[in-house]
Structure 1
Amino acid sequence: MFRCPSCGKGRFKDEVAVACHMNQPRSGCNTWLHDIIWLDSVRTESMDVDDEELGGFTGSVNEEGISPTRDFIDWFPGASRTYGTGHTFLDIFNSDENSVHCATSLYYPFSGRKDWELASWQLHSGLSMGKIDSFLSLEIIQGLPLSFSSAKELRGRAEMLPSGPRWMSQVIETKHPTKSPVILYWRDPLDCISSLLNHPSFHDQLDFTPRKVYTTAQRLCCVYSEWMTGDNTWTMQSALPRGATLLGTILSSDKTNISMMMGDRVVHPLLISLANIPMSTRLKTSLNSFVLTALLPMPKFLHKKKCMHGVLEDRLVHQCLDLVLEPLKRAAHEGIMLSDPVGSTTLAQIATAHSKVDSNDIEAFFREAQKFHLNGVDKPFWQDWLFAEPSHFLTPENLHHLHREFYDHDVKWIICAVGETEIDFRFSALRPVMGFRHFHGGISKLKQVTGRAQRDIQCSIIVVSADAVPSAVMTAVRALTDFRYLVQSPRIDDRDIEHISTVLAKFHANKHAITAAGFHRGKGNKPIDNWYIPKIELMQNIAPSIRNTGITMQWSADATEHAHITGIKDPTRSSNNNNYDSQICRHLDCVDKCRHFDLATSLLDLRLQTNLDQHHVDDDIIDFDVDDDDDLPANLLSTVKSPGYACPITNYFAMAKVLQHREVGTIPLPLRTFVVGRTAFHLAYSLSIRAISIDDAALKFGLPDLRSAFADFLCREDTHGYGHIHPLGGARRAGSNASLPFNELQIWFKLQLQDTEFHDTTNVRPAQTLNCVPPSDIWTFGRYETVIVNNEDGHSWPADGLHGHVIAQIRLIFCPIRKMDTQGAWKDHFLTYVQHFNNSTEREPATHLHLLKRVKRSNGTRIDDVIPVTQLRAPVNVVPQFGASADPHLTQYNGMEHASEFWLNKYWDKNTFYPLLMYFDL
Structure 2
Amino acid sequence: MPADCPNCLRQFKDASGVTRHLSQPRTTCHRWQDDLISIAELLNRHKPPEMQPDSPISVLMEDLSHSSDESFDDPVWWNEVAFDWDADVEMEYGGGITPAQSNIITFNGTAKVYQAGETFLDRFNLDACAPQCRNNIYYPFTSRVEWDMAKYLLCSSLSMAKIDEFLKLDSTTQVVHLYFCDTLDCIEMLFNHLFFANKLDLTPQRIYETAEHLSHLPAGAMLLGVIVSLDKTNITNMTGGRVAHPLLLSLTNIKMEHRNKASNHGFLLAVLLPVVEFIHPTKRMQTILNDRLIHECLDIELEPLKQAARLGHMMSDPVGNLHLCYTPIAAYIVDTPEALMLACVRGLMSHLTLATFKNFGDPFRHPARQGATTLAQLDSIAVDPNDLQHYFAACKDDRLSGVSKPFWRNWPLAEPSVFLTPDALHHWHRQFYVHNLKWCLAIMGKKELDFRYSVLQPVVGLCHFKSGVSKLKQVTRWAQHDLQCYIVGVIAGAATPSFVIAICALSDFRYLSQSPIISEAT
The TM-score with structure 1 as length reference comes to 0.32
- After TM superposition, the structure 1 = structure 2 runs for residues 253-264 of structure 1, keeping only pairs within 5 Å, are 253-260=230-237, 262-264=239-241
Match among 289, 292, 295 for residue 312 of structure 1: 289
State the partner residue of 1:231.
Answer: 208
State the partner residue of 1:444.
Answer: 470
State the partner residue of 1:187.
Answer: 181
CA shift, 1:386, in A, is 0.4
Deviations 1:48-78 (A, max 9, x none): xxxxxxxxxxxxxxxxxxxxxxxxxxxxxxx
Contact 1:246-1:349 at 8 Å conserved across structures = yes
- After TM superposition, the structure 1 = structure 2 runs for residues 288-327 of structure 1, keeping only pairs within 5 Å, are 288-327=265-304
Supply the distance in 2 between the matched residues of 1:377 and 1:461 (Cα, whole angstroms).
42
Contact 1:424-1:444 at 8 Å conserved across structures = yes
State the partner residue of 2:250.
Answer: 273
Contact 1:314-1:359 at 8 Å conserved across structures = no
CA shift, 1:338, in A, is 0.9
State the partner residue of 1:204.
Answer: 198
Amino acid at match of 1:363: V
Supply the distance in 1 between the matched residues of 2:243 and 2:496 (Cα, whole angstroms).
44
Instruction: Give the secondary structure class of the aligned counterpart of 2:281.
Output: coil
CA shift, 1:258, in A, is 2.7
Contact 1:178-1:299 at 8 Å conserved across structures = no
Match among 444, 452, 457 for residue 418 of structure 1: 444
Match among 391, 394, 400 for residue 373 of structure 1: 391
State the partner residue of 1:343.
Answer: 320
Amino acid at match of 1:492: I
- After TM superposition, the structure 1 = structure 2 runs for residues 681-830 of structure 1, keeping only pairs within 5 Å, are none
CA shift, 1:399, in A, is 2.6
Supply the distance in 2 between the matched residues of 1:312 and 1:469 (Cα, whole angstroms).
49
**Structure 1 residues 310 and 178, CA gap change in structure 2 (3 angstroms):** farther
Instruction: Give the secondary structure class of the aligned counterpart of 2:440.
Output: helix
Supply the distance in 2 between the matched residues of 1:423 and 1:298 (Cα, whole angstroms).
42
Amino acid at match of 1:364: R
Match among 339, 349, 356 for residue 360 of structure 1: 339
**Structure 1 residues 372 and 299, CA gap change in structure 2 (3 angstroms):** farther
State the partner residue of 2:431.
Answer: 405
Instruction: Give the secondary structure class of the aligned counterpart of 1:479.
Output: helix
CA shift, 1:377, in A, is 7.0
State the partner residue of 2:100.
Answer: none
Structure 1 unaligned spans of 5+: 1-172, 212-228, 497-922
Amino acid at match of 2:433: Y
Contact 2:228-2:332 at 8 Å conserved across structures = yes
Supply the distance in 1 between the matched residues of 2:218 and 2:426 (Cα, whole angstroms).
37
- After TM superposition, the structure 1 = structure 2 runs for residues 209-608 of structure 1, keeping only pairs within 5 Å, are 209-211=203-205, 229-260=206-237, 262-357=239-334, 359-361=338-340, 362-364=344-346, 371-373=389-391, 378-496=404-522
CA shift, 1:490, in A, is 3.2
Supply the distance in 2 between the matched residues of 1:345 and 1:395 (Cα, whole angstroms).
31
Deviations 1:814-842 (A, max 9, x none): xxxxxxxxxxxxxxxxxxxxxxxxxxxxx
CA shift, 1:405, in A, is 1.7
CA shift, 1:262, in A, is 4.6
Quote the sequence identity (%): 49
Supply the distance in 2 between the matched residues of 1:244 and 1:426 (Cα, whole angstroms).
59
Supply the distance in 2 between the matched residues of 1:461 and 1:448 (Cα, whole angstroms).
19
Contact 1:210-1:237 at 8 Å conserved across structures = no
Deviations 1:96-137 (A, max 9, x none): xxxxxxxxxxxxxxxxxxxxxxxxxxxxxxxxxxxxxxxxxx
CA shift, 1:415, in A, is 1.9
CA shift, 1:364, in A, is 2.4
Instruction: Give the secondary structure class of the aligned counterpart of 1:250.
Output: strand
**Structure 1 residues 289 and 262, CA gap change in structure 2 (3 angstroms):** farther
Aligned-residue CA RMSD in angstroms? 2.6
Instruction: Give the secondary structure class of the aligned counterpart of 2:178.
Output: strand
CA shift, 1:410, in A, is 1.4
CA shift, 1:390, in A, is 0.7
Supply the distance in 1 between the matched residues of 2:259 and 2:172 (Cα, whole angstroms).
38
**Structure 1 residues 435 and 354, CA gap change in structure 2 (3 angstroms):** same
Task: Work out which structure has the larger RCO, using CA pairs closer than 8 Å and 6 or more positions apart in sequence.
Answer: 1
Supply the distance in 2 between the matched residues of 1:463 and 1:410 (Cα, whole angstroms).
14
**Structure 1 residues 230 and 467, CA gap change in structure 2 (3 angstroms):** farther
Instruction: Give the secondary structure class of the aligned counterpart of 1:197.
Output: helix
CA shift, 1:425, in A, is 1.3
Structure 2 unaligned spans of 5+: 1-141, 147-170, 348-377, 395-401
Contact 1:332-1:351 at 8 Å conserved across structures = yes
State the partner residue of 2:117.
Answer: none
Max Rg structure:
2
CA shift, 1:265, in A, is 3.5
Contact 2:191-2:318 at 8 Å conserved across structures = yes
**Structure 1 residues 246 and 439, CA gap change in structure 2 (3 angstroms):** same
Amino acid at match of 1:457: L
- After TM superposition, the structure 1 = structure 2 runs for residues 52-71 of structure 1, keeping only pairs within 5 Å, are none
Instruction: Give the secondary structure class of the aligned counterpart of 1:272.
Output: strand
- After TM superposition, the structure 1 = structure 2 runs for residues 830-845 of structure 1, keeping only pairs within 5 Å, are none
Supply the distance in 2 between the matched residues of 1:282 and 1:451 (Cα, whole angstroms).
21
Moved more, 344-353 or 174-183: 174-183
Amino acid at match of 2:325: A
